[in-house]
Structure 1
Amino acid sequence: MPIDKHTGEFIDLTEAKELTNAYQAAFPNEPKCFFFGSEKLQSVIGQDGCIGLRMYRGFDVVRNEQNVVIVGVDANGNDMTDGLLLDRGRMCPTDCDSVSPLNQ
């Protein structure tokens, strides 16, 4: 399947709740989510030739915590590793939306 800027599917809240709740039940000790600010995300996706984002799970051995490394992806499906790389999002738990149906 070719990679393009239309990759991904929008889902409704019911499916999103099913997915996130199932993950949280299966992996209760794992982070639920990570928050990244829109300016940082737009900087990555706004790079010349960037058609999307790839998110890698990462582990900081110094901080002893998980996070996500975000990299731009070009039209050939290649990580834009010479460009901006984003990390150190705010992790839930501790930085969570306590009333979100996605955080149960």
Structure 2
Amino acid sequence: MSRITSGAGRFISEEEANEFKGAYQKRKKEQQIPDEDTVRSEFFGSDNLQQILNEPGCIGIRVYHAKRRETINGREHLVPRVVLVGIDKTGKEILQLTVPTEAGMKDMPGGKEGQLADGPICPPECNTGG
């Protein structure tokens, strides 16, 4: 039986999440990558996520791990990124999003690419609040 369902994944404790994230940070320190050059996260807004989830047949989002050369703090690095794409119940990717016509009469397929990327990364876009 496929594990691709709308309930896939599990919620974890703060302690377990910190273990996951800590192992990543530890590895970056071992590689002697300064904290300010270590990408810890990438943010995606609810409007874009909801667009993917609202697609007919979409039951969830697949997250691809990716890398791309980018300049951080004046130096070029191979930066970890993610690419998000909607998935239907068979595990098939939804690569085109349905967008309303300008008149707003009905939805027309094929108007917008469906893979989401290039969210702000942390650092520098980190939570600075308490």
TM-score range, shorter chain: 0.7 to 0.9
Question: Which among 93, 106, 111 is matched to residue 79 of structure 1?
Answer: 93
Name the structure, 1 or 2, with higher relative contact order (CA <8 Å, separation 6+).
Answer: 1
SS of the residue 1:56 aligns to:
strand
1:1-104 matched pairs, under 5 angstroms: 1-2=1-2, 3-28=4-29, 29=33, 30-61=38-69, 65-83=79-97, 84-98=114-128
Partner Cα distance (2:120, 2:80) in 1: 10
Partner Cα distance (2:128, 2:26) in 1: 17
SS of the residue 1:58 aligns to:
strand
- Looking at secondary structure, tell me which structure has more strand per residue: 2
Partner Cα distance (2:68, 2:93) in 1: 21
Letter in 2 for 1:88: D
Gaps of 5+ in 2: 72-76, 98-113
Q: Percent identity?
A: 34
Partner Cα distance (2:55, 2:8) in 1: 18
Structure possessing the higher radius of gyration over alpha carbons? 2
Partner Cα distance (1:77, 1:17) in 2: 30
Quickly say closer, same or farther: Cα 1:99–1:15, change in 2 above 3 A.
farther
